Amino acid sequence: MNTSEENIAAMVRKVVTRTMGERPRRPIVNEQTISDLSPDSIHTIPTGAIVTPLARQIALERKIKLIEEEQATLGQNPSIEHIPDTGQTSRFSGSGSNANQPVVALGADHGGYDMKEKLKGVVAAAGYGIIDCGTHSPESVDYPDFAYAVARTVANGQAWRGIIVDGAGIGSCMVANKVPGIRAAMCYDQATVVNSREHNNANVLTLGAGLIGQNLAGQLVQTWLATEFGGGRHGRRVDKIDAIGDRYMKKSGG
């Protein structure tokens, strides 16, 4: 690794450490860890580990597949039970679910359909019920319809949080943030998902299936669901975000 790459790697480690703050230390998989692996291999990383961007780049270049420990044992999760459609949505719940189980709304357009279907297992394995807001096939659809369905489901209290997947995650984030009470964040790595929860109390996560792989998406969802809001000064700022939405609701007579 040349001096420039070493400087970049050091900067990445510094940013990750600063972002994570005083939270309990998570294992960090860096570029050296990946460089020591054989090309075209599969590497299992500790659950909740932070994989640096440079490490992911090297893994991609060397065709090394990274799988989190929990995902490696998850498989198809046969405990997931399909409850038939009732109108617009479908519900899924893990075995042992109950009425007090938090529910996550999932939605996607055709570009995010495959990723959404696989993320159901990740969400269920984390202990949450699921409302599937569609789409239910890879046929071409319009992402605003499904982003709105997820955001509305969270805003009206049917779901605790929501996750939306489209090609880039940007358009769905714009749509969701039009719905009063929604704080949607488009995230693409561990630092952004942690920040969205700790600092912004995001209640909707949007992902770009064309920008990140399935394994990374699963890791991000696990981290996002498990990360608590930091409160304190962040609470004051989130209140100001919500107040802006309330102000425009009043102007429109909503």
Q: Look up the CATH number of the domain holding residue 152.
A: 3.40.1400.10
Spatial contact of 120 and 130, defined as CB atoms under 8 Å apart: yes
Please indicate, yes or no, if residue 253 is contained in any of the structural domains.
Answer: no
Please indicate, yes or no, if residue 242 is contained in any of the structural domains.
Answer: no
For the residues of 171-193, what is the DSSP string, one character each?
A: HHHHHHTTSTT--EEE--SHHHH
Kindly state whether residues 83 and 204 are assigned to the same domain: yes
Kindly state whether residues 115 and 148 are assigned to the same domain: yes
The pLDDT of residue 39: 85
**Which of these ranges, 70-79, 155-164, 179-188, 199-208, has the smallest mean pLDDT?**
70-79
Spatial contact of 106 and 130, defined as CB atoms under 8 Å apart: yes
The closest alpha carbon to 163, from 104, 213, 102, belongs to 104
Kindly state whether residues 151 and 122 are assigned to the same domain: yes
Kindly state whether residues 123 and 45 are assigned to the same domain: no
Question: Among the three residues 20, 54, 73, which one is the final residue of a domain in this structure?
Answer: 73
Under the banding of pLDDT at 50, 70 and 90, the label for residue 41 is confident
The pLDDT of residue 75: 37
State pLDDT tens for residues 215-245: 999 999 999 999 999 888 998 999 998 888 7
The pLDDT of residue 200: 95
Kindly state whether residues 45 and 66 are assigned to the same domain: yes
Kindly state whether residues 95 and 219 are assigned to the same domain: yes
Query: What is the count of structural domains for the chain?
Result: 2
Of residues 43, 136, 199, 234, which has the active-site annotation? 199
In which domain, by residue range, is 110 found?
A: 79-233
User: Is 234 known to be catalytic?
Assistant: no
Kindly state whether residues 151 and 98 are assigned to the same domain: yes
Under the banding of pLDDT at 50, 70 and 90, the label for residue 89 is very low
Please indicate, yes or no, if residue 199 is contained in any of the structural domains.
Answer: yes
Instruction: Name which residue leads in pLDDT, 114 or 244.
Output: 114
pTM above the 0.95 mark?
no
Please indicate, yes or no, if residue 248 is contained in any of the structural domains.
Answer: no
Question: Taking all residues of the chain, what is their mean pLDDT, rounded to a whole number?
Answer: 80
Question: Among the three residues 73, 91, 116, which one is the final residue of a domain in this structure?
Answer: 73
Kindly state whether residues 134 and 160 are assigned to the same domain: yes
Question: Among the three residues 73, 102, 130, which one is the final residue of a domain in this structure?
Answer: 73
DSSP structural state of residue 145: H
The closest alpha carbon to 204, from 169, 253, 240, 252, belongs to 169
Kindly state whether residues 58 and 97 are assigned to the same domain: no
Give the torsion sign (CA, 29, 31, 37, 39). Answer: positive
Average pLDDT on 39-59 reads 75
The pLDDT of residue 99: 53
Kindly state whether residues 11 and 32 are assigned to the same domain: yes
The pLDDT of residue 95: 32
Under the banding of pLDDT at 50, 70 and 90, the label for residue 61 is confident
Under the banding of pLDDT at 50, 70 and 90, the label for residue 31 is confident
Kindly state whether residues 203 and 108 are assigned to the same domain: yes
